[in-house]
Amino acid sequence: MSNKEEILQFLKNNKIVLSERFHLTKIGLFGSFARGDQKPTSDVDILIEPEDEAKNIFDLEYDLRELLKKQFNRNVDICEEKYIKSYFKPYILRDAIYV
């Protein structure tokens, strides 16, 4: 998969499974793929919001990253909205597309 539409379609089609398996309340795309200006070497930027009671979030994020890397055949960065530095937050959220 190498374009915005395919990535968003995968996330939409698998939203329930991903949400249950990785304890997410939100998942979305941001960055160059969301804007449509990705390059051949661009990674896929995924924005998540885990459930409040999610345990072992670092393990869950690692497993999610590995699953998506295989699916998209690209490096994947996963970011939680609450950890985005305030300076960058408006720019990231402006591009974010939640499914």
Residue scoring higher pLDDT (17 or 52): 17
Predicted confidence at residue 52, as pLDDT, reads 82
Does residue 10 surpass a pLDDT of 70?
Answer: yes
Encode pLDDT of 30-78 as tens digits.
Answer: 999 999 999 999 999 999 999 987 677 888 899 999 999 999 999 999 9
Share of the chain above pLDDT 90, in %: 86
Going along the chain from its start, the domains and CATH numbers come out as 4-98 (3.30.460.10)
Encoding tokens for residue 52?
């409040």
86-94: Cβ within 8 A, 24+ apart: 92/30, 92/31, 92/47, 93/30
- For the CA atoms of 12, 16, 18, 23, the dihedral, rounded to the nearest 10 degrees, stands at 130
Tell me if 48 sits within 8 A of 26, measured CB to CB.
yes
